[in-house]
Chain A
């Protein structure tokens, strides 16, 4: 049992960078800009953050460097997609590959050197609560920051007027504009902020969860794509996104545990399994509005059908209506 709780505490810690990146992507996409460079950006900022912290010896400078690198990348994306009206998909893909390869290339001098890491910081009193304390309050400061970020971002998006404006800009930019809102300014701000958060996820790996920089062996390649899919399946909601992040890391952990039990199964299977499992789980909660789903629902008895319709409507969240579409005033 104790072993399980330790494992789960590890899952919580490892899920934080994913959740932070998902929230970053959520901000960006809520405003209407897809940041497809997340994958490369996480690898790049992991390297930049580690290199900065290694050189200066100060951990938080590494984190700051990651955030700033991300924000700079966000401005680049805003400039190309908002000011130059270029395809967000094409530019995002290219940047994703560029950032990743840049990280491997520039990171060579920092390969496999021991560097500073974020220390664990149990919270007095709270840490002594059985199970809960162990799971949530014997972590490091980044995890606590993540708790605040999740709460804050959820509150911001759904319970403030600024958040309403953010959603409005991503939904109906024309309506927002005719109410006097500077649509492109909003998009610039949130894309930069969102990319900054994605950039924070990199050093959260290299200075904490997977401490160190090991070039292509760091094992961060791929996380960014999962972040993008969790953002979508999480319905652009920080709470659901966090749930998705924890689920993903839990599946990864499960793979590791099962591998030690079933030695005969090739290790690759269990390493890769979380990815399709993740997709399947999330598909399940996001039943699409397709003809065959409608047909299947029509076979249900009438008394149940209404409830199922309502459940599906509750679970399904449509994307921001203007996601990926540049705004043009007439």
Chain B
């Protein structure tokens, strides 16, 4: 299917999210759409999938102009989109989830078509138990499910919006193999990403968006530096200070066990040194979240000791943990970290626990201004937190943390952020390590783990490895351990 986008404009309030984008997409190829956070990639793709309406411009499909006013229009034409957070129904079984579509999309299916679904599944190398619950799948599996579902419904054009966020390295491999196969079957695949390596590996052609405009396009093979310059308008380098851990013990964990509905972890032992960075590797949902929350005092451990200055604080509530300088930053920024509808200034007032009745307006404005400047947040004191982009929300979250702190617990601190934002976040975090703050963070990005962590704990099926020094760990070795191989007996 030949798609032509001509002079697409889209405004959100005063923001010009898509500024006159013209683009032709040919069948049988994998097109990479690159750009930093907020460049307008997602907006453009949502316009093409009917999820949002363009303000002006034309969309031609096989040389015919089409109005895409809703996703049902797009689906009828055979355009389907895989969203960053899978648009599925976690509370339902897979079989139920697959049966939800609108008849206006022209899809007709009967029970016999399950065979076809299973065939597609097998062809792409996925395995689902149709009677399982969607919510129990990992993000990667939910994505695979969406992919299979769209193909089953007869989609010819597949749009993938940041599909590798939150999936494991092994799942990424399976996904890429599937996409290459589909491109061979003359499907059109649009791959939206801010990660260069992925585009390099997968795409035959790439276009780059910056600030709502289409800046340029390149054919494979790509030159990485060239693409970076297109994306950011300049070169980006990342730096890492040398091993920052000291010999002072910041926290000792002894025989810790954690248990809830989903996961059981037993007998965790390690010492965390002041100024050290420990990374948590493992597939999504292997217990990293529960582990971080337990260390933050948000979740009760079922046994063991968490020692700070030789005092066991396991069983105390999270305020006691905070009093000792332990802070947790959740991965769901808007849902668990920030308050939608509150301005930046109100966030600072809220996090500043001064015991007074009235707000000191002058003082709080001053604090807000200095923090915004220091953390380089693109927003004003009166901006609501939900209006910020993902990268800026993360900066806001970090700027709310008390300084100095003993230990920061970060859940996927750079998920969904582009290279520049991620680098910036890490430069701030590393600075704090110099001031003897320790960090424990979880990540799905092996590169990030081996690059920034001093030691790594690997999670697999309720087991936690010994802390492994990252200097002796390659990404391949780490990937195998995450998949459950190479574990000591």
Interface residue ranges, A against B (CB under 8 Å): 161, 164-165, 167-168, 171-172, 174-182, 291, 294-295, 298, 309, 313, 318, 321, 329-330
Who on chain B is nearest to A175 by CB? B87
Which residues from chain B contact A298 at a C-beta distance below 8 Å?
259, 300, 302
The verdict on A330 contacting B52 (CB below 8 Å), with A176-B100, A178-B81, A179-B102 known, is yes
Task: Check if A161 sits within 8 Å of B83, measured CB to CB.
Answer: no
Option from B75, B83, B92, B261 in Cβ contact (under 8 Å) with A180:
B75
Who on chain B is nearest to A298 by CB? B302
Q: Which of B37-75 contact A (CB under 8 A)?
A: 46, 49, 51-52, 70-72, 75
Who on chain A is nearest to B107 by CB? A180
Task: Check if A164 sits within 8 Å of B92, measured CB to CB.
Answer: yes
Task: Check if A329 sits within 8 Å of B52, measured CB to CB.
Answer: yes
Which residues from chain B contact A164 at a C-beta distance below 8 Å?
92, 96, 99-100
Task: Check if A182 sits within 8 Å of B302, measured CB to CB.
Answer: no
Interface residue SS majority, chain B: loop
Which residues from chain B contact A175 at a C-beta distance below 8 Å?
87-89, 100
* In the assembled complex, B355 has its CB within 8 A of some CB on chain A: no
Task: Check if A178 sits within 8 Å of B51, measured CB to CB.
Answer: yes
Q: What's the minimum C-beta distance from B335 to chain A, rounded to whole angstroms? A: 12
| Known interface pairs A172-B88, A179-B105; 13 further A-B residue pairs with C-beta atoms within 8 A, sorted by A's residue number | A167-B92, A168-B92, A172-B87, A177-B70, A178-B87, A179-B71, A179-B87, A180-B102, A181-B72, A182-B70, A291-B300, A298-B302, A318-B91
Task: Check if B87 sits within 8 Å of A180, measured CB to CB.
Answer: no
Q: List 25 A-B contacts (CB under 8 A).
A: A161-B100, A164-B99, A164-B100, A168-B92, A168-B100, A172-B87, A172-B88, A175-B87, A175-B88, A177-B70, A178-B49, A178-B51, A178-B87, A180-B70, A180-B75, A180-B76, A180-B101, A180-B105, A182-B102, A291-B300, A298-B302, A309-B261, A313-B261, A318-B91, A321-B91
Which residues from chain A contact B489 at a C-beta distance below 8 Å?
none
* In the assembled complex, B104 has its CB within 8 A of some CB on chain A: yes
Which residues from chain A contact B46 at a C-beta distance below 8 Å?
330
Which residues from chain B contact A330 at a C-beta distance below 8 Å?
46, 51-52
Task: Check if A179 sits within 8 Å of B261, measured CB to CB.
Answer: no
Interface residue count on the B side (C-beta < 8 Å): 28
Q: Report the Cα distance A212→B88, complex, angstroms.
A: 50
Option from A161, A180, A313 in Cβ contact (under 8 Å) with B99:
A161
Option from B51, B76, B261 in Cβ contact (under 8 Å) with A329:
B51
Q: Report the Cα distance A313→B133, complex, angstroms.
A: 14
Residue interface bits B82-95, CB-to-A below 8 A is 1, else 0: 01000111111000
Interface residue SS majority, chain A: helix
Which residues from chain A contact B302 at a C-beta distance below 8 Å?
298
Which residues from chain A contact B72 at a C-beta distance below 8 Å?
180-182
Q: Report the Cα distance A174→B90, complex, angstroms.
A: 13
Which residues from chain A contact B99 at a C-beta distance below 8 Å?
161, 164
Task: Check if B71 sits within 8 Å of A180, measured CB to CB.
Answer: yes
Which residues from chain B contact A178 at a C-beta distance below 8 Å?
49, 51, 71, 81, 83, 87
Interface centre among A164, A176, A313 (most CB of B within 10 A): A164
Which residues from chain B contact A295 at a C-beta distance below 8 Å?
300
Q: What's the minimum C-beta distance from A206 to chain B, rounded to whole angstroms? A: 39
Q: Report the Cα distance A313→B90, complex, angstroms.
A: 15
Q: What's the minimum C-beta distance from B319 to chain A, rounded to whole angstroms? A: 14
Q: Report the Cα distance A295→B317, complex, angstroms.
A: 14
Residue interface bits B438-455, CB-to-A below 8 A is 1, else 0: 000000000000000000
Task: Check if B91 sits within 8 Å of A179, measured CB to CB.
Answer: no
Q: Report the Cα distance A174→B51, complex, angstroms.
A: 10
Task: Check if A177 sits within 8 Å of B52, measured CB to CB.
Answer: no
Q: Report the Cα distance A309→B264, complex, angstroms.
A: 14
Which residues from chain A contact B87 at a C-beta distance below 8 Å?
172, 174-175, 178-179
Q: What's the minimum C-beta distance from B90 to chain A, rounded to whole angstroms? A: 8
Which residues from chain B contact A321 at a C-beta distance below 8 Å?
91
Option from A167, A177, A309 in Cβ contact (under 8 Å) with B71:
A177
Q: Report the Cα distance A192→B302, complex, angstroms.
A: 49
Which residues from chain A contact B83 at a C-beta distance below 8 Å?
178
Q: What's the minimum C-beta distance from A296 to chain B, rounded to whole angstroms? A: 12
* In the complex, the 6 A-B pairs of residues with the closest C-beta atoms, listed nearest first: A180-B72, A180-B102, A175-B87, A180-B105, A181-B102, A178-B87
Which residues from chain A contact B89 at a C-beta distance below 8 Å?
167-168, 171-172, 175
Who on chain A is nearest to B70 by CB? A180
Who on chain B is nearest to A160 by CB? B99
Q: Report the Cα distance A291→B318, complex, angstroms.
A: 14
Which residues from chain A contact B90 at a C-beta distance below 8 Å?
171-172
Q: What's the minimum C-beta distance from A195 to chain B, rounded to whole angstroms? A: 24
Task: Check if A171 sits within 8 Å of B91, measured CB to CB.
Answer: yes
Which residues from chain A contact B49 at a C-beta distance below 8 Å?
178
Q: Report the Cα distance A321→B88, complex, angstroms.
A: 13
Q: Report the Cα distance A161→B98, complex, angstroms.
A: 10
Who on chain B is nearest to A321 by CB? B91
Q: Which of B84-138 contact A (CB under 8 A)?
A: 87-92, 96, 99-102, 104-105
Which residues from chain A contact B259 at a C-beta distance below 8 Å?
298
Residue interface bits B185-200, CB-to-A below 8 A is 1, else 0: 0000000000000000
Q: Report the Cα distance A179→B152, complex, angstroms.
A: 13
Q: Report the Cα distance A283→B83, complex, angstroms.
A: 38
Q: Report the Cα distance A161→B104, complex, angstroms.
A: 14
Which residues from chain B contact A180 at a C-beta distance below 8 Å?
70-72, 75-76, 101-102, 104-105
Q: What's the minimum C-beta distance from A326 to chain B, rounded to whole angstroms? A: 15
Which residues from chain A contact B96 at a C-beta distance below 8 Å?
164
Interface centre among B83, B90, B102 (most CB of A within 10 A): B102
Option from A174, A179, A329 in Cβ contact (under 8 Å) with B101:
A179
Q: Report the Cα distance A330→B300, complex, angstroms.
A: 39
Which residues from chain B contact A168 at a C-beta distance below 8 Å?
89, 92, 100
Option from B71, B88, B102, B300 in Cβ contact (under 8 Å) with A294:
B300
Who on chain A is nearest to B86 by CB? A175
